[in-house]
Each structure stands twice: as C-alpha cells, then as structure tokens.
Amino acid sequence: MALTVVMSAGVLQTSAKSLPVYRDPSRPLDERVEDALSRMTTQEKIDIIHAQSKFSSRGVPRLGLPDLWTDDGPHGVRPEVLWDEWDQAGWTNDSCVAFPALTCLAASWNPEVSYLYGKSVGEEARYRGKDVLLGPGVNIYRTPVNGRNFEYMGEDPYLASVMVVPYVQGLQDCGVAACVKHFALNNNELNRHTTNVIVDDRTLYEIYLPAFKAAVQKGKAWSIMGAYNYYKDEHLCHNQRMLNDILKKEWGFDGAVVSDWGGTHDTRQAITNGLDLEFGSWTDGLANGASNAYDNYYMARPYLELIRKGEVGTEELDDKARRVLRLMIRTAMDYTKGDGEMCSEAHYDAARRIGDEGIVLLRNENRVLPIAKAQGKKILVVGENAIKMMTVGGGSSSLKVQHEISPLDGIRAAASSCGMTVDYARGYVGDVTGEYNGVVTGQNLNDSRSAAELIAEAVGKAREADYVIFVGGLNKSAGQDCEDSDRAGLELPYAQDDVIRALAAANPNFVVVNVSGNAVAMPWVKDVPAIVQAWFLGSESGNSIADVLFGEVNPSGKLPFTFPVRLSDSPAHALGAYPGVKRADSDVWDLEYKEGILVGYRWHDTKKIKPLFAFGHGLSYTDFTFGKMTADRAETEDGTVTFTVPVTNSGNVAGAEVVQLYITDNKCSVSRPAKELKGFAKVFLQPGETRDVKITIDRDALAFFDADRHEWVAEPGQFTASAGPASDNIKTTVKFKLK
Ligand code: GLC
C-alpha cells in the first residue's frame, strides 16, 4: 500500500509541478510545438515527416509523441489494411457507415447538413483511432467524364467554398484532421500522374482555388493533400508556387501538406517546395514499393544524407517538423475530444438525412411522383443499380459497410408498409464483379440471359404494373465513377437507353432513378415523365430513394453541376481541351484549360448553350412563388448589399426551396461570365407560408481576379442581382451600383 501511496504521490507531485510544456494542454499550441521541437534530434525530426506504414507516420516514442494515423476517405472510414500493403487486414470490427458521396452533400445546398456530415464521419474516424481523414475532396467539376467527380462538390467555386467549411469544422471538432484534396488542378483521372496543367492565373484564382482557400482560411483545415499532377512542370506534392507561395504565404496555412500516395518524386524539391509529410512513395525508386523500405523515402535517409553532407540546412526540416507536431497535438494528443462512435443510430440517421436532402427531382410531368400509396397497387422495379452494392469500388473511397440498403430493399420496405406489392426485373446486365481491394459484396449478379430476353421480361411485367421504377446509371467500376480512370463519353453504359425507351412505351407511370456522381446523356428525356438524380447514397441508399419516391420527404436537392445534352456542349470538350497533348519526348501530357473561367453554367449561360438540366436545377412536390427582390440600398461604397426575396410555398405540402443569388457585372474592363453564384439560402416552408429570405453580399461578390495586379478588383459601376430556384430559372432581378 505504502508503495502505491508513494507512487501516486509521486505522480501527483509530477503532474502538479512539471508536466513538460509540449504535453501540457493548458499551454498555447505553438509553445508546445517549440518545446517538443527543442527536445528532438535531427533523426527524430526526419522520422515524423514520412510514413512508417501504408497509412501511419512515426511519432517520437522517447518523448511520448504518438504515431499519426491517417485513413481514407471522404464518405466513410476505410477498412483496416495490412501494415505495409493495400490488402485487407481482415478485421471484423471495422465495418462502417457509408455516408452519401460528396456530390450529394453539395446537392443539398445546406451548410447545416455539411456540419452534420463532418461530425458524423469524424466520430467514426475518431472511434477507429484515425487522426487524419483523407478528405474532403473539392476539385472543381471541369469535365463530366472525370472518374472522381462523385467525390467532389461540383462545378461552382462559391457553392463548394460554402459547403466544404462546415464539413471541415464538424470533422475537426471530433479531433480528426481534415486533409482537403487534391490540391490542386486534379480535375480528371486519365493521366493523373503525368498531366501538366496549364491555366491562367485569373482562372486559377476564380475557379480552382476558392474552395481550398475557404477550407484553409474559414474551415481552418489542419492538413491539405497535394495532387499527383504537375503545375508549371513541378509535381503538386512539392510545388513552389502552389504550396509555398499561395497556400503557406498568401493564405497563411499553418497545417501540414501531405503527399498523395506515391505523389513524391524528388528529395530536393520535397525539401524546398512545401511538402511536410510523405506517404505512399514507391520505395524501390522505380515503379513499385519494396516492402517496409520507409527509410528509402525521399524525405528519409536521402534527406538525412544531404544534411550530414552539409548540402542542405535544417531550417526546412524544422518547419516540416513543426507542422507535423501541430497536426499531432491537434489530433492524437487532444484527449478532450472523446472517443467518437461507430455505426450508431445517429450516424445512420445522418446518412439518410443527407441523402434525403441531396436527391434531386429533375423532371416530374403529370405529377407521376410521389407514388400514391394505395392498397394492392403493383410496383415493378427494373435495373441492376436497384440491387448492386455501390459502397464497394470506385478507388480509395471504397468502404466495407455494416449494411447498405439497396434501392430495391428500400422501395420494398416502403411499399409493403402501405400494402403495395413490388416485383423486380433485371432489365440489363452491367458490372457483375463484387470485390474491390479484398472487400467483397457477397452478391452474385451473374445473369446469362440476353439483352433482348432481359428487356422482354421487364416490358412484359411493366405492362401489368401500376408503377415502373427503373434504377440505373453508372457504377464504381473502372471507366465509370472510379478513381484512376475517366469515362469515354457521356452515354449510359450497358445499353440502358434501350431498356428505358422500351419501358417508357410500356407504362406511362414511369420513373427513372439515375444513380451516378456525374452527368449522363438522356436522349429519352422527353419520353420519361419522371426522372430522379440519386447519387451514390451509401448505407441508407434505398431508404432515401424510397423516402423521396413515396413522398415521405419532399425533394429539395439542386444540381451542383450542369447536365449537358451532349459532351461537345461542355467547355473542355467543345474546345478540345481534354485530355491534352502528350509531349513527344516524355510521358507528360500538357493540358491547357482553354475555357478559362467559363466552366459549367458560366459556359452555357455565356455561350447560350441550353443544357439538359441546369446548374442549381431541382424540382419539388410543392410549388414556390418568388416575390419581387429588393435591395437595402441602390448604391454601395464597400460592396455590402442585403437583398430580400419573399418566397411563398404556394403548394399544399411542406417543402424547401433554395434561393440562389447570381451577380452580373453589367460593365467591366474585362470579360466576365453572364452571371456567377454569389449567395444562396435554403428555406423550409409550410404550405401557404411566406418568408423574406435575406442574402447579404460584400465586395468579394463583385470582384474579379486581376492577374496583372495579382489582386481582386471590383470596378465601380452597375451590377445586376438575379434570384431564382435555378441558374436557368431567374424570377426576379434588381440593379445596384458600386460607387
Ligand atoms: C489515392 C488517392 C487519394 C487517397 C490516397 C490514399 O491514390 O488519390 O485520394 O487518399 O491515395 O489511398
């Protein structure tokens, strides 16, 4: 007993008197960082700036500084892999909740939902002992064929800038660092390691940087992931302009730059061009990884050699170590953020709510939707995407879920609760594989019937049904919505158009549910009365889809990117600016962003090319009426103006509308898009209710980036504010002057 007393007294004495500063949570962050740094050897500083395993980097055991654990991905916490391999570790307690893909989050246009998302996935990551979650991704949707658009937040820099911040805050409130990616200009997957992006500064600052800047300056992101590609002929994982000049100097980023896995290619560049934490390098220096060869990393032994030979100093090393220590203290060493939780009811509710708010009702002629619940009515569900698991595959965002409610399951559950029957027909056979990286779906989707037989079966049943719901779209296999590859075109794969046309002819109560993270061509759009854009919705997919189809939820999603009628209508393809030009003497592709700032609706508006469905488009089961917009002043000195838009729910069910505010510079010394999104507000209204929606803008909303002066400029003169429920549906405008 005496020993215990002494020991406890000893501990008490120690804790009362001299807890070292770097371990003392009451001390300011940077004091703790400096104290830790002052105690570390050069070797220890080298140890913490590169990986020690596939997803972790080393701490300093001598000082009790913990290892740092990272994991994918933006939509949920990736299952555990082996220490030094991508293969599954085979744990039985790492099945997670898959939240909807980030295109769905963007489509909700609701920052509250974004915070809920970040907090929920942050709790899952915290519970799994992860200090850095490798997401969210905010690369701008420049082309509809980019394989990873489903992981990002659409084509508009303002929407992405607003929606990324609460996600980062929610995540980091759990003591888990966001690692916002892929910084920057990683806008397609084809040749992702060898594309050298050529883009003018105005386009860079107006289109491709804002979401990252907001994540850093407003979200206070604790880490950023460098991209694979080149910019100004330097890899973005060690890029002087992007990482040092812009991210760290101009924006004041105090966190750590993490390489993409295998994105580091040169020791000297890594030392001087802003990389802080190297992961996933190919350690045999060629194309593949020699096992457990982390000392071969560019920022490991080779770096130490240069220091020992006196060829480089330790100033950059100290800066890197500081940034990694900051990351460590903010996450692994913050014991106040609780232990998180995994697969909780709250997380399933969150996943379902995000899905419910992000699904977009694209078309609803003759009010086919919502499905009228009626005893004995028959529903036919057709399509592979009604049954195929979508949480497995797609690249690094692939997950091992505790459950995934398929669209068919969700529709069945909702229908049976109101006495309706549901039948199923395959309709088409697409991708029958059921495994990614060792995670298996357990589904056997094999079906040897011919396309004609499958269509005949579906049409035969469709003629007997009261409702027909086709669930198709893309999936997570290579060449569709998948990392490291792009699509070859805009068309739906597996001849789905034929099935859709046949079903449209067989039954007027016909709904197409498109499951995808990208726009697709819809040549049959006029033949299909109801179309729903249902994203990759994760664990609660079927429930969210059923919620909307049966009217439990009134859809309120709005498209975060344009659906062009054909690929050549979209700017990168209209100008032949994809995938770029391969250099004769190397594997580098030069890709010039010839469309400049005219990305997405900026192109369609300015060139007057009518889209299939416009940016910001999304219908409701109720009707909304916009009153006349007013401004609180006709002239503004500092750019501040508050607009008031009266919105009425003139229908007979509750619902939400997103008031979108676009700004036009009526006269400017440079050409500007026809209009640009500079404000929005989502408002929930009961039937008959009117709300005065107020949106305030400031000078930022009026400015363009003057590359010559390298600053944002708002030229005095007249501007027009336009408000409406979609970029192609402006209801009210008001002019005002910047003095
Ligand atoms: C992948 C992806 C990146 C991911 C990382 C780790 O190649 O580009 O988004 O977080 O490697 O899996």
Residue found by looking up tokens 């990694």 in the block: 324
Q: Is the CB of 352 under 6 A from ligand 1?
A: no
pLDDT value of residue 8: 46
Is 697:719 a contact under the CB 8 Å cutoff?
no
Is residue 591 helix, strand or coil? strand
Q: Report which protein residue has its CA nearest ligand 1's atom 9.
A: 396
Q: Which helix (H) or strand (E) holds 346?
A: helix 345-358
β strands within 32-115, DSSP E: 56-57, 68-71
Closest atom of ligand 1 to 134 CA is 10
Distance between CA atoms of residues 240 and 257, nearest Å:
12
Distance 257 CA to ligand 1 centre (A): 14
Mean pLDDT of the chain: 96
* Residue owning the nearest CA to atom 5 of ligand 1: 261
Nearest CA to ligand 1 atom 4: 396
Q: Which residues pair with 733 in a beta bridge?
A: 722
Ligand 1 centroid to residue 613 C-alpha, Å: 31
The answer, yes or no, to whether any atom of ligand 1 lies below 6 A from the CB of 260, is: yes
Alpha helices (runs of H) in 57-174, residue ranges in sequence order: 102-108, 111-127, 157-172
- Give residue 5's pLDDT: 45
Tokens of 712: 């944002």
Distance, first Cα to last Cα, the chain: 80
Residue 398 Cβ contacting ligand 1 at under 6 Å? no
Q: How far apart are CA 153 and CA 676, in angstroms?
A: 16
Residue 623 falls in the annotated catalytic set: no
Spell out, as residue ranges, where the chain has pLDDT lower than 50: 1-14, 16, 285-287
Q: Which atom of ligand 1 is nearest to the CA of 78?
A: 12
Strands 676-685, 439-440: pairing is unpaired
Q: Tell me how far the alpha carbon of residue 628 lies from the centroid of ligand 1, in angstroms.
A: 48
- Collapsed DSSP state (helix, strand, coil) of residue 527: helix
Distance separating alpha carbons of residues 289 and 269, to the nearest angstrom: 21
C-alpha–C-alpha distance, residues 556 and 620, integer Å: 6
d(CA 121, CA 101): 12
The answer to whether 528 and 363 are in contact (CB under 8 A) is yes
- Indicate whether residue 316 lines ligand 1 (CB < 6 A): no
- Alpha carbon 203 to chain centroid distance? 21
Verify whether ligand 1 is closer than 6 Å to residue 81 (CB atom): no
* Spatial CB neighbours of 522, under 8 Å, sequence gap ≥ 6: 512, 514, 528, 531, 563, 612
**Nearest to 472, CA basis, from 510, 436, 435, 420:** 510
Q: Are strands 717-724 and 732-738 parallel, antiparallel or unpaired?
A: antiparallel
Where do the H-state alpha helices sit in 241-344?
Answer: 267-272, 301-308, 315-330
Q: What is the pLDDT of residue 285?
A: 44
Regarding the beta carbon of 396 and ligand 1, being less than 6 Å apart is answered yes
Options 71, 72, 94, 260, the catalytic residue: 260
Q: Is 181 in the pocket of ligand 1 (CB under 6 A)?
A: yes
Q: Which atom of ligand 1 is nearest to the CA of 151?
A: 9
- CA-to-CA distance for 202 and 713, rounded, in angstroms? 11
Q: Is 72 in the pocket of ligand 1 (CB under 6 A)?
A: yes
**pLDDT in the model for residue 16:** 47
Nearest CA to ligand 1 atom 12: 396
- C-alpha span between 356 and 107 (Å, rounded): 10
Taking the C-alpha atoms of residue 457 and residue 427, their distance in angstroms, rounded to an integer, is 8
Atom number in ligand 1 closest to CA 179: 10
> Is the omega angle on the peptide bond into residue 73 within 30 degrees of 0, that is, cis?
yes
Using the mean position of ligand 1's atoms as its centre, give its distance from the Cα of residue 260 in Å: 6
Q: Which two structure tokens, joined as six digits, stand for 25?
A: 């949570």
| Residue with the two structure tokens 């103006």 | 641
